[in-house]
Structure 1
Amino acid sequence: MLGLIKTLKTLGDRTPLGLKQLKHDRLRLLTAIAGITFADILIFMQLGFADALYKSNTQYPRALQADLVIISTQAKNFGQLRTFTRRRLWQAQDVPGVVSAEPLYLGSVQWRNPQNRQQTSMLLIGQNPSQPAFDLPDVNAKLDTIRLPDHVLFDQASRGSYDEMIEQVNRGERVTTEIGLRTVEVAGLFEVGASFSDDGALITSDQNFLRLFPKREAGAVSLGLINLEPEADLEQVRAELAARLPDDVQVLTQAGYVDFELNDIQSASPIGFVFGLGSAMGFIVGVVIVYQVLSTDVNSHLGEYATFRAMGYRNSYLLGIVVEEAIILSVLGFVPGLVIALGAYQLTAAATALPLAMPTSRAITVLTLTFVMCGASGAIATRRLQAADPADIF
């Protein structure tokens, strides 16, 4: 009878019935909000890490200043390009429309942090100082500097403690450290960012690269940069190069090479799968938590639902109440999840130097997933309404 009286009172109250039912048990409501918030944070972090993986592993491919790119057919990604003979670049210069074909050398080195003397893994890039290889103004302004023996440019967005060293370089002071058995001087700074595989990067000349890799032959190229005449047809020259060059290399446009890198991460790399699985698990956790809350709520109000049915309300009205609760839970759980995720992004980016940010599109995506998550839970929970028999009120 008490449940019937409460039900009748709600008919004259303009407050949404779904909200009133959720507020009836505040502990259950807080539990549901906490569960949805946790699920949203998990999804936000997994999507953020996946996006950071894609961005960090394609930062240099996106910055390449070339019309076409030549890589080995055995290349997997920017960190595992494999080498091919420089002869392919000389052959490429014979193709009409090609202006230049420059080599790029890549390798990982253990360098000693000038600030704390700790060793860390850094990507070393060797380029022809006469031809800009990247669309990086800070690098291109100092190409003459890296011509000097054992001079390198340092990525100031590298992971680690480099504040004092960066200030010294900016003041024009001489900063030296060791790479292997050689002493190198940090001649300038640029900014790109760390990756999952390396803490940062150094750019130097091709000759300096070979000095730091004494066992590396000059004819073993990591990547070829092809620049064309302004009036040349990009796809036509690419096709002609692909036809003329042996099958130990492949020719890609600059955009095609970025897609090549992304495809490797998304399909071949287990890391991309792990982040995708983590997002899916977060979604499933949210569905289970919200279902438990809504199912319990429906069970505890079966008498009230039966009263509505006895008064002539259709099942669609009762279903609407549960859907209303799901929508309210979606919003109440998403807002704190978004706020906490923003803070977590900032902390993680500061600690790892990875490009973690919150684009509006991701927030909308997670909000949509939250609605779907709560809606799916509500749809499952509404099956209990079939048991709301008017006879239950007696």
Structure 2
Amino acid sequence: MKIPLAWLQLKHQKTRLLVAIAGISFSVILMFMQLGFQSALFDSAVLLHKSLNGDIFLLSPRSTALIAMKSFSERRLYQALGDKNVEFITPIYLGFAQWKNPANPLKWRNIHIIGFDTEYSVFNLPGVEQNMDKLKEPDVVLFDLASRPEFGPVVNLFQSQTSLLTEIDNMSNATRKIEVVGLFKLGTTFGIDGNLITSHLNFLRIFSQRKKGLIEVGVIKLKSGNPANIEQKLQQYLPNDVQIFTKEEWIKFEKQYWMTSTAIGFIFSLGVAMGLIVGIVVVYQILYTDVANHLKEYATLTTMGYRHRYFLTVVFQESLILACLGYIPGFLIASGLYKIAHQTTLLPIAMTQQRTWFVFLLTIFMCFLAGIIAVRKLQDVDPADIF
């Protein structure tokens, strides 16, 4: 079998080939990491949304994201009961408080507290349903075992003692003793380092300054009917002091906040673009130098009758070879970095098949674009001038 001219030219100078592979791999790693962090940002932000057993959700118009929720009247939720398709409604209370590290009483850290009515199974989370009866006791909470380690060795202490006492400061200089009676798993986000789940009554005990009936999320579970149709009916007779979402719309609303209303969403997109540009520059330099060094050979082939299309094919073959050779180590290194990032940050960073193919196609596009720019030098090649 004939060895392609493109491969022979690339491997002629092995050092330059290795430099090109390293540059492309770096670009691939950069794109993978930025896309991975961006995906982790969006996926982690909607973990709570996906865990709620509801079809329609009510929010205050002033709420912009899970970390910036505003209260509204619980009466709007009860008004939704007028629809015959509603199976049940339940309020969700959300707030941040200071958690005292049980292993180091001098360390306090913000923690996210979720309060709900234990009459309904509203969470699809490991550990919540099993501990539902315990949450009916006063001053008890469930601790998120996927929280950051800065909250202390809570999981180990609880498993060795089956219960754990600590304190919570509700941000108004009022501390309250609470007991951890169980564990559940939700996960951290870019704005939330840890979570507690408790009953709505215990939530109001912790946040004694809060008024009962002012909630952050209203959950509506339907027994029949299309959520989109029920949503439209609710919008017609509920006042405009609440926002009404289906679950998919609420998830989209949350992601849109992080994508457009925060700097971090833009930075990750910019990082992907920078990785693409770096790769284009590296591949262009390699291919341009290769073309320049072989101008005489190309001119000779031109006089022999080879058309410009043939030279384009050679350069594009080189681009494809570089893309494949650079992608493989970049993919392997990025996969390892994903595991390290997940273990360190506890964010949902994982390699997906969709992202694998997307970055591979981006790499091919990047190398082909660099090849198109580099091959322009051949367009005006005149054998008479070269010889």
Normalising by the residue count of structure 2, what TM-score does the alignment of the two structures yield? 0.94
1:356 aligns with 2:346: no
Q: Mark the runs of 5 or more structure 1 residues left unpaired by the alignment.
A: 1-12
**Equivalent residues of 1:306, 1:392 under 8 A apart:** no
Match for 2:179: what amino acid?
E
Match for 1:283: what amino acid?
L
Aligned to 2:172: none
Q: How does 1:12-23 map to 2 (within 5 A)?
A: 14-23=2-11
**Equivalent residues of 2:94, 2:216 under 8 A apart:** yes
TM-aligned CA distance change 1:283 to 1:59, over 3 Å: same
**Equivalent residues of 1:157, 1:353 under 8 A apart:** yes
Secondary structure, counterpart of 2:28 in structure 1: helix
Q: C-alpha offsets along residues 235-285 of structure 1, whole Å, 9 cap, x if unaligned?
A: 333222211111010222222221221222223333222111111111111
Task: Work out the CA distance in 2 between the residues paired with 1:95 and 1:162.
Answer: 43
Runs of 4+ that moved beyond 6 A: none
Q: Percent identity?
A: 43
Aligned to 1:384: 377
**Equivalent residues of 1:101, 1:226 under 8 A apart:** yes
Q: 2:227 aligns with which of 197, 212, 234?
A: 234
Aligned to 1:6: none
Q: 2:180 aligns with which of 174, 178, 186?
A: 186
Task: Work out the CA distance in 1 between the residues paired with 2:325 and 2:163.
Answer: 55
Task: Work out the CA distance in 2 between the residues paired with 1:356 and 1:182.
Answer: 35
Q: 2:44 aligns with which of 44, 48, 56?
A: 56
- Aligned pairs, number: 381
Q: Mark the runs of 5 or more structure 2 residues left unpaired by the alignment.
A: 170-174
Q: How does 1:199-348 map to 2 (within 5 A)?
A: 199-228=193-222, 230-348=223-341
Q: How does 1:24-39 map to 2 (within 5 A)?
A: 24-39=12-27
TM-aligned CA distance change 1:163 to 1:18, over 3 Å: farther
Q: How does 1:69-88 map to 2 (within 5 A)?
A: 69-88=57-76
Match for 1:376: what amino acid?
L
Normalising by the residue count of structure 1, what TM-score does the alignment of the two structures yield? 0.92
TM-aligned CA distance change 1:95 to 1:334, over 3 Å: same
Secondary structure, counterpart of 1:356 in structure 2: coil
**Equivalent residues of 2:86, 2:224 under 8 A apart:** no
Secondary structure, counterpart of 1:15 in structure 2: coil
**Equivalent residues of 1:156, 1:162 under 8 A apart:** no
| TM superposition shift of 1:171 | 4.5
Q: 2:93 aligns with which of 105, 110, 117?
A: 105
Q: C-alpha offsets along residues 36-71 of structure 1, whole Å, 9 cap, x if unaligned?
A: 111111100110001000100000001111121111
Q: C-alpha offsets along residues 71-98 of structure 1, whole Å, 9 cap, x if unaligned?
A: 1112111221211011212222233332
Q: 1:370 aligns with which of 354, 363, 371?
A: 363
| TM superposition shift of 1:191 | 1.2
Task: Work out the CA distance in 1 between the residues paired with 2:49 and 2:153.
Answer: 30
Task: Work out the CA distance in 1 between the residues paired with 2:306 and 2:273.
Answer: 37
Q: How does 1:88-127 map to 2 (within 5 A)?
A: 88-117=76-105, 118-127=107-116
| TM superposition shift of 1:162 | 7.0
